[in-house]
Structure 1
Amino acid sequence: MTDSDIRFYLSILIGRLPYIFSIALVVAGLGITVAYLMPTVYGASAKILVEPPQIPAEMAKPTVHIPPLEQLQIIQEEITTRENLLELARRLDIFGDAAEKLTEGEIVENLRKRTILQLVPTEREGATIFSVSFQARDPKLSAQVVNELVSIILAKNAGMRASKAGDTLEFFEKEVARLADELARQEEAVLEFRNANIHALPDSLDFRRAQLSNQQERLLLLEREESSLRVRRTNLVRVFETTGQVAGTGPLSLEQEMLRDLKRSLAEQLAIFSEGSPKIVALRGRIDSLQREVQASQDTKQAAGGVSELDLQLSDIDERLSFIEREKAAIKENLDVLAKTIEVTPQNETSLNALERHRDNIQEQYNKAVAKLAEASTGEQIELRAKAGRFTLVEPAIPPESRLSPNRRKIAGIGVAMGIFLGFGAIAGLELMNRTVRRPADLVPLVEEPLLGTIPYIWNPGEKEARKRKLSISLATLVCAVAIAGAALYHYRPPLAIAFENLIESIDRNSLM
């Protein structure tokens, strides 16, 4: 770009300055008008502190453990429900006569947009503070709504903590009652099992094994006694058949003593002489003769005396043998029962251990539930007496003295900047579309031969002055129009502001305040 080009563009800029000024003045005026007519919005706020528990957790643990941010979110969701917001709007008459123009959905959406709950950054570590703010055209209404919201939040916080503590206590009360019933049923099941298997329980296994061993020894003794009695009975019968008397039944008669001596002598002689010896034959003859006499004597005594001594002893032996048979049968039956109970004892032990283990588990759960119930009861008392963490109002809302919006200076400055930008943009666009020949360089593309020289446009004596006068009149008219519009805006601001507000509200119903 040459010096001639720079001078050319500067001349165009200087020549277009009135147009730039006119566009910038109009746009800036519109921006200032919008900033001046925009409705004023006030925002009142209150601060709520989340207090830590007043009782150390080592002494008594609270039953409600909800982080402050979660509490804030829960309460925000509760107070911004449709029913609560409609009730708040009716009770405080937030919209006034404009409420008739709005549907319930628009009222709810409007209030949700204007209500703000947020955490407040603090320098002290551990402190949690959040603010509640509300936007309105009336500063008193804004403060009134915020204080009402704060009251609702504090009440809901206390109610929520008390309700959760009560719910926790009620849950553990039901849990303790349920576990107590279940423990009683399990105790009854264990008792029924013990009663049903009282003779086959593991705690009496050693006793039953010792009893089994004793019964087996007793059976062995009885069998030995039975064998001994049967041998004795056989001996009694054989002795009686041989001697004609019962062994050990009183003093022997003369014939019996002689018979005994002869038998002893026969036994001695047999050791010396043979069986066919005359002496031996003579001894046997005398023995046979004495045996016949003794037998005859026994028969005579038996016929005269009734029951013999042999019959008495055999009767005693038979009674004892009968008793032994009955005792052996009872012992064998008892041994069968003991063997069966010992055999099923391991299975019973497994079943009993399962029942008792289940009972112990229920007992452990019951003990823990009772401990938790005590903690829940203490926690409920802490919540009811407001000794746990709670919300406390540290800074109530007061009617604000300064507006929250709009920032009129910022809006006016943006309007002026936009005016200047649009002025330069409009001129730049017009120049780019203008194909008028205004310098020799613009003729070169239009002719085929090289230019020898150019003659500039020659103004008539009155033409330049008339052009300047026309431009001055236009600028003066524009300035006067802007001044008149500014004066009218200042004088008729209230009705104009209302009209502008109605226009905004007709475009966006949520902007109604």
Structure 2
Amino acid sequence: MEEDVKTLKDYLQMARRRKYDIAIPAFLFLVVSVVVALILPPVYQSQATILIEQQQIPSDLVKSTVTSYADERINLIQQRVMTVDNLTRIIDKFGLYSKEKDKLTAAELAEQFRMSAHLELINADIISQGRNSKATLAFKLSFDDKNPQLAQKGTNELVTLFLNENVRNRTERAEETTVFLEEEAQKFKGEIQKIENELAEYKEKYSGSLPELLSANLSSISRIENEIQQLNLQEKMLDERKISLKSQMAVAGQGLLASTTDSHAPSSLAELKQEQVRLLSKYSATHPDVLRIKRQLTILESGQAPEESDASAKLQDARQELAKLKQHYSDNHPDVKATQRKVDDLTDSKSPPSTRKLTDQAASNPAFLQIKSEIDMAEVEQSSIRTHRAELQEKLKLLEMNVSQTHQVERGYYELMRDLDNNKAKYNELKAKQLEAKLALTLEEEQKAEKFSLLEPPLLPNKPIKPNRLKILFIGFLVSIGAGLGIGYLREMMDGSIRGHRALAYIAGAEPLVVVPYIENQEDRDRTRKNVINFSIMAGMLFLGMIVAVHMLYMPLDILWYKAWNRLGLI
């Protein structure tokens, strides 16, 4: 069975049969689209262009404290500007959304304002370090409203807020950087003062053991040791001089001994023994002087009483005690002086009466007195040497102790110095950065750094951006044609009538024997001509109306409609 395939002629016949089903809906849809295009109120947009100017002073000379990218700062400024408080203030200032105020909350009105405000970045392709990237050169701000004056005022207010917020934001960042660096510098300054105080206390505590005094201490130790050696040598020379003077005193006392009785010795036993040693070093044992001294020693040794033996023992003990005290104290120490006086008293008391008598007799001899004076001077010099040597030994002990502590003190001292140097270096670095931050702050305050400048101010719009009436009319025209054809085709599909021999053959399954064509008479021809004329007039009027609406009324219609809507209080 042959498939029922419709030809162009069938569709034309279908359109002719359903001309009213197609024309009426199409006409209604077209009228609706025209009405919609005409009654929609115009929306105006005022736009401003803001240029991002680079820093006027080279960044090598003065660096800015704001290092973020331009698009990042613009988005940040947008978030700060588009707050509910700022937008509510703008809405109240210009009386925006007067009808919606009673129905919407402040947050909803602010959201409606955000939907009407637009931000568009203007980027440029740049090549940096072999990579393609985009740099923001400028951005556009715009605001939409049914009133062109309000659109301009809203855009102007947004521009003002953006410019002021940019200046405030950059200045605040520079101020915050300056304050931060100043606070950190003050912290390090306080830390430096604290370490300096600790270092001063440490130096005072270990004043003699500091590392820088090590060479001086070692030099002082060497000098004091040499001086002690010199003092020991001087003391030895004085001892020899005293021995020599006492020998001379013994020789001078021999003349006195001849005038005294033979039962008494002219000098002490110790001095006679020293004189004997001196004479034996020069003469033989049979020399008359040696023999005389030997006789005197015999007389003194044989003439000692038991009391004198006890005195000798006490004198020996006192001398041993004096030697022990001198090992620990100087000659000026009270204990040393008291023991010395005890030794002198025992020495005087130990002398036999003959010796004391001989001494009394020698006191009037000038030679004897001169020798005695030289011996006393030698003893004074020895005493001074001992005192000075004791002082030097005390200094030597102190210096040796300081040197032994130097290595332990050095560790803590260098640790404090290292902390002090590190803090000073960080403090100097912060002070240098603080000066740079102050220059950057001055740069921002005088607007010599990167800034936003108004390139194109917002103008009063004379042409709405929406609705696009031409687009609405065109779309309405296409929709009306499609809707008419669709409804006509739907009606044809719902009609069960058999039209044409092909439909009959398709249903019956066999071709008819005879096909009688439609015989058109004069009435049919008149009706067809009349319909063509009517549809042509209707189509021409619709087409002419669309052309007039688009060409003649499109531009001024927005202004007329704006005035009409404004008078009716709808704007």
1:82 corresponds, among 71, 81, 84, to: 84
Q: Does the Cα contact within 8 Å between 1:226 and 1:321 map onto a contact in 2? A: yes
Q: Does the Cα contact within 8 Å between 1:440 and 1:454 map onto a contact in 2? A: no
Per the TM alignment, residue 116 of structure 1 is displaced from its structure 2 partner at its CA by 1.1
Q: Does 1:340 align with 2:401?
A: yes
Q: Tell me what 1:94 maps to.
A: 96
Q: Does 1:60 align with 2:62?
A: yes
Query: Given the superposition, is the C-alpha separation of residues 177 and 250 from structure 1 closer, same or farther in structure 2, using an over 3 Å criterion?
Result: same
Q: Does 1:5 align with 2:14?
A: no
Q: Tell me what 1:145 maps to.
A: 154
Give secondary structure in 2 for the equivalent of 1:306.
helix
CA–CA distance in 1 between the matches of 2:223 and 2:459? 99
Give secondary structure in 1 for the equivalent of 2:207.
coil
Structure 2 unpaired stretches of 5+:
127-133, 259-271, 302-351, 363-367
Per the TM alignment, residue 110 of structure 1 is displaced from its structure 2 partner at its CA by 0.8
| Deviation string, structure 1 residues 384-435 (Cα, Å, up to 9, x no partner) | 3333332222222221111111111111111222233344444555666666
Q: Tell me what 1:306 maps to.
A: 359
Query: Given the superposition, is the C-alpha separation of residues 290 and 440 from structure 1 closer, same or farther in structure 2, using an over 3 Å criterion?
Result: closer
Per the TM alignment, residue 54 of structure 1 is displaced from its structure 2 partner at its CA by 2.9
1:206-285 matches, within 5 Å, as: 206-218=215-227, 246=247, 249-250=250-251
Per the TM alignment, residue 379 of structure 1 is displaced from its structure 2 partner at its CA by 2.7
| Deviation string, structure 1 residues 45-82 (Cα, Å, up to 9, x no partner) | 12222222333334433444453323322222222100
Q: Does 1:380 align with 2:436?
A: no
CA–CA distance in 2 between the matches of 1:398 and 1:431? 57
Q: Does 1:349 align with 2:352?
A: no
State the one-letter code of the partner of 1:5.
Answer: V
1:452-463 matches, within 5 Å, as: 453=512
Q: Tell me what 1:15 maps to.
A: 14
Query: Given the superposition, is the C-alpha separation of residues 102 and 230 from structure 1 closer, same or farther in structure 2, using an over 3 Å criterion?
Result: same
1:35 corresponds, among 18, 37, 41, to: 37
RMSD across aligned C-alpha pairs, in angstroms? 5.2
2:477 corresponds, among 402, 406, 416, to: 416
Give secondary structure in 2 for the equivalent of 1:94.
coil
With 25-34 and 308-317 compared, the bigger mean Cα shift is at 308-317
| Deviation string, structure 1 residues 147-187 (Cα, Å, up to 9, x no partner) | 22222222223333333333333333333433333322222
Identity of aligned residues (%): 24
Q: Does the Cα contact within 8 Å between 1:63 and 1:379 map onto a contact in 2? A: yes
Q: Does 1:166 align with 2:175?
A: yes
Q: Does 1:292 align with 2:295?
A: yes
Query: Given the superposition, is the C-alpha separation of residues 261 and 322 from structure 1 closer, same or farther in structure 2, using an over 3 Å criterion?
Result: closer
State the one-letter code of the partner of 1:420.
Answer: I
Per the TM alignment, residue 203 of structure 1 is displaced from its structure 2 partner at its CA by 0.5
With 76-85 and 221-230 compared, the bigger mean Cα shift is at 221-230
CA–CA distance in 2 between the matches of 1:317 and 1:364? 64
Q: Does 1:204 align with 2:213?
A: yes
With 348-357 and 283-292 compared, the bigger mean Cα shift is at 283-292
Per the TM alignment, residue 359 of structure 1 is displaced from its structure 2 partner at its CA by 1.7
Query: Given the superposition, is the C-alpha separation of residues 413 and 230 from structure 1 closer, same or farther in structure 2, using an over 3 Å criterion?
Result: same
Q: Does the Cα contact within 8 Å between 1:27 and 1:419 map onto a contact in 2? A: yes
Q: Tell me what 1:48 maps to.
A: 50
CA–CA distance in 1 between the matches of 2:282 and 2:106? 142
Q: Tell me what 2:420 maps to.
A: 359
2:142 corresponds, among 133, 136, 141, to: 133
Give secondary structure in 2 for the equivalent of 1:99.
coil
Give secondary structure in 1 for the equivalent of 2:50.
strand
Give secondary structure in 2 for the equivalent of 1:100.
coil
Q: Does the Cα contact within 8 Å between 1:259 and 1:291 map onto a contact in 2? A: no
Give secondary structure in 1 for the equivalent of 2:464.
coil
1:180-191 matches, within 5 Å, as: 180-191=189-200
Give secondary structure in 1 for the equivalent of 2:101.
helix
CA–CA distance in 1 between the matches of 2:432 and 2:397? 51
Give secondary structure in 2 for the equivalent of 1:341.
helix
TM-score, normalised to structure 2's length? 0.64
TM-score, normalised to structure 1's length? 0.71
Structure 1 unpaired stretches of 5+:
268-282, 502-511
CA–CA distance in 2 between the matches of 1:262 and 1:100? 143
With 354-363 and 313-322 compared, the bigger mean Cα shift is at 313-322
Query: Given the superposition, is the C-alpha separation of residues 253 and 100 from structure 1 closer, same or farther in structure 2, using an over 3 Å criterion?
Result: closer
Q: Does the Cα contact within 8 Å between 2:47 and 2:140 map onto a contact in 1? A: yes
Q: Does the Cα contact within 8 Å between 1:43 and 1:404 map onto a contact in 2? A: yes
Larger RCO: 1 or 2 (CA < 8 Å, sep 6+): 1
1:370-449 matches, within 5 Å, as: 370-426=431-487, 438=499
CA–CA distance in 1 between the matches of 2:479 and 2:502? 34
State the one-letter code of the partner of 2:215.
Answer: D
